[in-house]
Amino acid sequence: MTTHPASDPKDILAPIREMVRACMQCGTCSGTCPNQAVMPQTPRVLWAMLAGGETEAVLESGVFVYCSSCYHCTLRCPRGLPLTEAMAALKQASARANPWAFKATQRFYHRFMASVRRHGRVKEAEFMTWYFWDMKNPFLPLSYLPLGFRLMVKGKVRPEPPSFGGPDALGPLFDRVRALEERS
């Protein structure tokens, strides 16, 4: 007997499928998404794949990686569905299911946030140095050289920008968010 994915206890996307169960495929989310042009599928198609139990295809599509959490779709969905949260949940489920695929993204994110916590803003030179160190790939810095140069020419990156609010000024805020996340 075939078990429907929605009732399969091993279906890791079951809770997310439930979040968008009332989708009526109107396409408003796709039409309003600023990142839809670079997504491999539109958000509407993603929700249809999810509803159809296509767990592997949903995870492999990587659509959620392109979501920048702008909340446009959530605000405009006529069903009032928590679409941004569903995208975030898909990112987490995908990272849990295949941690190696997201290794670089996770290291980038952790070093970025560590810099923000320490200085109240990101210090690009420091954060990228630690990221390159984590990645242990001597050729990786070379691939970032053209982008770094363009950003420096435009004054977007400074070698030693000032910190805000003193050392670890944002530490208590970060600790509070972590405590809330662990409780939810």
44 binds ligand SF4 (CB under 6 A): yes
42 binds ligand SF4 (CB under 6 A): no
Contact 125, 160 (CB under 8 A): yes
75 binds ligand SF4 (CB under 6 A): no
Number of helical H runs and strand E runs in the chain: 10, 0
92 binds ligand SF4 (CB under 6 A): no
Query: Residue 16 CB, nearest distance to ligand SF4 (Å)?
Result: 12
The piece of 71-79, 123-131, 132-140, 142-150 that touches ligand SF4 (CB under 6 A) is 71-79
19 binds ligand SF4 (CB under 6 A): no
Q: Write phi, then psi, for 156 (nearest 5 degrees).
A: -85, -20
94 binds ligand SF4 (CB under 6 A): no
73 binds ligand SF4 (CB under 6 A): yes
70 binds ligand SF4 (CB under 6 A): yes
The piece of 72-80, 110-118, 125-133, 135-143 that touches ligand SF4 (CB under 6 A) is 72-80
Query: Residue 25 CB, nearest distance to ligand SF4 (Å)?
Result: 5
Q: Which is nearer to ligand SF4, 75 or 173 (CB)?
A: 75
Q: Rounded distance, CA 140 to CA 135, Å?
A: 8
- Number of neighbouring beta carbons within 10 Å of residue 128: 20
Q: Rounded distance, CA 45 to CA 25, Å?
A: 8
Q: Rounded distance, CA 132 to CA 138, Å?
A: 8
Q: Residue from 68, 98, 105, 137 that binds ligand SF4 (CB under 6 A)?
A: 68
Q: Which amino acid is at 97?
A: A
Q: Which amino acid is at 89?
A: A
**If you ran DSSP here, which 8-state letter would residue 160 be given?**
S
Q: Is the CA virtual torsion 11, 16, 22, 26 positive or negative?
A: negative
Footprint of ligand SF4 (CB under 6 A): 20, 23-29, 32-35, 43-44, 47, 67-73, 77-79, 81, 83-84, 87
